[in-house]
Structure 1
Amino acid sequence: MRDTKESRLLLVLLVVVAFALITMDIRGGENSPLDRPRQAAQSVFGPVEKSVAGAVDPVGNAIDAVRDSGDRSGTISRLERENETLKQQLGSKDITRNRAAELDKMLKTAGAGQYTIKGAQIIAIGAAQGFSWTVTIDAGSNDGIARDMTVINGDGLVGRVTTVGPSTATVLLANDPDFTVGTRLEKSMELGFATGQGNRPMRVQLLNGKANVHDGDRLVTFGSEAGKPFVAGVPVGRIISVDPSGGNLTKTVQVQPFVSFTKLDIVGVVVVGPRTDPRDSVLPPRPATSAKAKPKPRTTPSGTPSGGATPSDTPSGGATPDDSVQNYNVTLGDEPTPTTTSGG
């Protein structure tokens, strides 16, 4: 519609009529003459309004969601924090349970050896004081720790104290290449010196080159004068291999330590050694070994045991199959050669 004098006059007229109708509706109240037209309009446009409202509701809900997103975000953050706290509590319970088990095992070891120990926890690892295998513990001179004290855990020898501060101390681990400790073989009492080799087994030189040793034999610390740097009887490890002697005056064996140096947590520093040498009493009991069943002889398809002599192989002169086996002379490096027997 163009802006003309007639259009302006029509607009003014419509406004006047609208005000008149509103005035009549207000004054008429419940008996308003416009009530019926309003009802008719509601019946016509009501369904349309409802449909439009239904279509617009998701948009309104989205707007409400955006408006409430701050509160929901806060709720999610709170729940995440609570979840993390629960995880930490569960983790701390596992750690506490493991530490309690380690402490119990260490106290049993200390009791068996009559060692007076000061418990400590590993708080740092690394190359301290120029050593390659060291740990730092949370106990120092204020706790009665001094240099050259033996350090153990529930499994055995951990190392020795090298430097001490007021509240911390550095421990040189037994697998360090600069670590050496006197050892004594279980039962046979053979003496030797064990040296660390890092991630490899410890190397032990036995003073007796003819010592009778076997895989599985165990060693403990021999002990030092006044118990420093090592008290006696602490489990060191078990032999896993014996190096060829080659005519040497000493015998070298490889020993797997009882302690796992990459899993250290709770340790004990021996502040007072035992009154008497505990010998082998600190070593754990050996596992029970079941008797091995004797292997049955293999049989050939015909039912004859393999390796045995058949009736056609029986030597003349009445020798039995067992006699033919016993008459073999074995020479190292040569094949068995049967001796000849007289047929008379």
Structure 2
Amino acid sequence: MVLLIPERLNRRGRLEHPEPGAPKRPTIVALLLACAVLLVLDQTGPALTPVRRLLGEVYGPLESATSTVARPVTSVPEWFHTQGALRERIGGLESDNAALRQRVASAGFDRNKLAEYEGLTAAAQDIGYAVVPARVVAYGASQSFSRTVTIDAGSTAGIEPDMTVLNASGLVGRVLRVTRSTATVLLIADADSVVGGRVGDSMEVGFVHGAGVLGGSGRLDLELLDQSVVPAKGDTVVTWGSSKGAPYVAGVPIGVVDSVYSSVRDSTQHARITPMVDFTSLDVVGVAVPSGTKSDRAVIDADGELK
């Protein structure tokens, strides 16, 4: 059924035509009727279910394919954001790993340093002297003595020539000369070094000579005063001690008897000594000083306390 709406007459009795481009009344009425029909059908619900299902089956794959094609384009901004976040995260992890590697690499050094300081504390208690801690900063190949080291403590730390130098393992040497901030130490491994020593439980006295060798094959030579005494392998040799503790205080371990032999030249008994100290890896050492010595650094006193 089509509804016809007559055109209106103007005031002069002439037909009034619609303006060009304006929608015609029949078209408007048809659209209104279509809307009404759709509203009625939508209220019925089940009546449109097959139609909706058919439209879903037809347009669903088309929508999926369109989404798949468009996804690379639409996801570009998100991709850039994700990549930037990943790069930032990776950079942070690499920084953390570098810090961890550094800590792991220095962990052994820190443990050894702590062990050296703890050993100096025990040594100070054993010998009954205060100890000024110092670090070896140079080996003296270019100095006047062939087997010397330089430490980073001098006269301002209370150090003077002819003072005993030791570490956590045993006797290192004696102070030769001093500046305000450094000191030169003659190692007992030097060929010109002579240290008075006592052997094991017998307490027999002898003189320990350096052989000039610092490495693992380096040995010291012990010449006993009493030729009737034969030290046993494994006996410990400690310092005999000097007047007022200079240049060597008493009771500092020097080494262990490795073997005994007789000198054909002078018919004397000698013993080869393996030193307690590894002279090629010296780091933290201590200089034995009298109690009450003024120092510009912390001192481990004879009771093992840091002052």
How would you bin the TM-score normalised by the shorter chain? 0.5 to 0.7
SS in 2 for 1:233: coil
Distance 1:154 1:181 in 2: 19
**8 Å contact from structure 1 (residues 209, 245) kept in 2:** no
Equivalent position SS for 2:274:
strand
* Distance change in 2, residues 1:49/1:269 (3 Å): same
Aligned counterparts of 1:59 and 1:207: Cα–Cα separation in 2 = 96
Partner of 2:272: 254
Matched-pair contact (CA < 8 Å) for 1:122–1:264: yes
- 2:162 corresponds in structure 1 to 148
The structure number with the bigger radius of gyration is 2
Change (3 A) 1:127 1:62: farther
Q: List alignment gaps of at least 5 residues for structure 1.
A: 1-19, 33-38, 274-344
Q: Which residue of 1 aligns with 2:121?
A: 107
Tell me the residue number matched to 2:250. Answer: 232
Contact persistence 2:206–2:224 (CA under 8 A): yes
Q: Quote the offset at 1:57 in angstroms.
A: 3.7
**Matched residue of 1:78: which SS?**
helix
Match of residue 73, structure 1, among 79, 87, 92: 87
SS in structure 1 of the partner of residue 279 of structure 2: coil
Contact kept? 1:177, 1:198, Cα under 8 Å: no
Q: How far 1:128 sits from its partner (Å)?
A: 5.0
Tell whether the 8 Å contact from 2:164 to 2:173 is kept in structure 1 after alignment. yes
SS in 2 for 1:120: strand
TM-score normalised per structure 2: 0.63
* Deviation per residue, 1:62-91 (Å, 9 max, x gap): 774445434432322222223433454566
CA positional deviation for 1:258: 1.6
Q: Which has the higher contact order (CA 8 A, sep 6+)?
A: 2
Structure 1 counterpart SS, 2:120: helix
Partner Cα separation in structure 2 for residue 226 and residue 266 of structure 1: 25
Q: CA deviation at 1:124?
A: 4.2
Query: Following TM superposition, by how much is the alpha carbon of 1:120 offset from its aligned partner in structure 2, in angstroms?
Result: 1.8
Cross-structure match for 2:194: 180
Counting only pairs closer than 5 Å after superposition, residues 110-189 of structure 1 correspond to structure 2 as 110-125=124-139, 127-186=141-200, 187-189=202-204
**Conserved? CA contact 1:158–1:259, under 8 Å:** yes
CA change 1:55–1:151 in 2 (3 A) is farther
| Equivalent pair of 2:134/2:151 in contact (CA under 8 Å) | yes
Matches within 5 A, 1:1-344: 47-54=61-68, 57=71, 64-66=78-80, 68-89=82-103, 95-125=109-139, 127-186=141-200, 187-196=202-211, 197-199=213-215, 200-246=218-264, 248-272=266-290
How many pairs are equivalent? 242
Structure 1 residues 73 and 170: alpha-carbon distance in aligned structure 2, compared to 1, 3 A threshold: farther
2:175·2:186 contact (CA, 8 Å) conserved in 1?
A: yes
- Closer/same/farther in 2, CA of residues 245 and 75 from structure 1, 3 Å limit: same
* 1:230 partner SS: coil
Is the Cα contact below 8 Å between 2:139 and 2:150 reproduced in 1?
A: yes
Distance 1:61 1:163 in 2: 76
**Percent identity (aligned):** 38
Report the RMSD for the aligned CA atoms in angstroms: 3.8
**In the aligned structure 1, how far is the partner of 2:163 from the partner of 2:203?**
27
When normalised by structure 1's length, the TM-score is 0.57
Are the aligned partners of 2:170 and 2:252 in contact in 1 as well (CA < 8 Å)?
A: yes
The answer on whether the counterparts of 1:208 and 1:250 sit within 8 Å (CA) in structure 2 is no
1:52 to 1:260, Cα distance in 2 relative to 1, 3 A:
farther
Q: Kindly indicate whether the alpha-carbon contact (under 8 Å) linking 2:172 and 2:187 is maintained by their aligned counterparts in 1.
A: yes
Do the aligned partners of residues 52 and 263 (structure 1) sit closer, same or farther apart at CA in structure 2, a change above 3 Å counting?
farther
Pairwise CA distance, 1:272: 2.3
Query: Deviation at 1:153?
Result: 1.7
Identify if the C-alpha distance between structure 1 residues 57 and 164 changes in structure 2 by more than 3 Å, giving closer, same or farther: farther
d(CA) in 2 for partners of 1:74, 1:166: 51
